[in-house]
Homo-oligomer: A and B are copies of this chain.
Amino acid sequence: MNLLLLSNSTLAGDEYLAYAKGKIQSFLAARQVTEILFIPYAAVSFSYDEYLAKVQKVFGEFEVQVRGIHCEPDPLAAVAAMQAIVVGGGNTFHLLQQVWQQGLIEPVREKVRAGTPYIGWSAGANMACPTICTTNDMPIVQPQSFEAFDLIPFQINPHYTDVKLQNFAGETRDDRIGEYICANEGKYVVGLREGCMFLLENGKLRLVGTKPAKIFKNGQDAREIAPDEDFGFLL
Contact = CB atoms under 8 A, between A and B. Distances in A.
Interface of A: 8-14, 44-45, 90-91, 93-94, 122, 131-142, 145-146, 158-159, 161, 163, 165-171, 176-180, 182-184, 194
A138 B169 contact: no
A221 B5 CA distance: 35
A170 B126 CA distance: 14
Contacts of A91: 179, 183
A138 B177 contact: yes
A90 B140 CA distance: 19
Nearest to A136: B170
The DSSP consensus for interface residues of chain A is: loop
Nearest to A138: B176
B8 A170 contact: yes
Copies of this protein chain in the complex: 2
A154 B122 CA distance: 29
A178 B14 CA distance: 22
Contacts of A94: 179, 183
Contacts of A180: 138, 140
A150 B165 CA distance: 31
**Quick one: which of A8, A139, A184 has the most chain B CB within 10 A?**
A139
A214 to B, nearest CB: 15
A14 B177 CA distance: 24
A137 B194 contact: no
A13 B13 CA distance: 33
B176 A137 contact: yes
Contacts of A161: 165, 168, 170
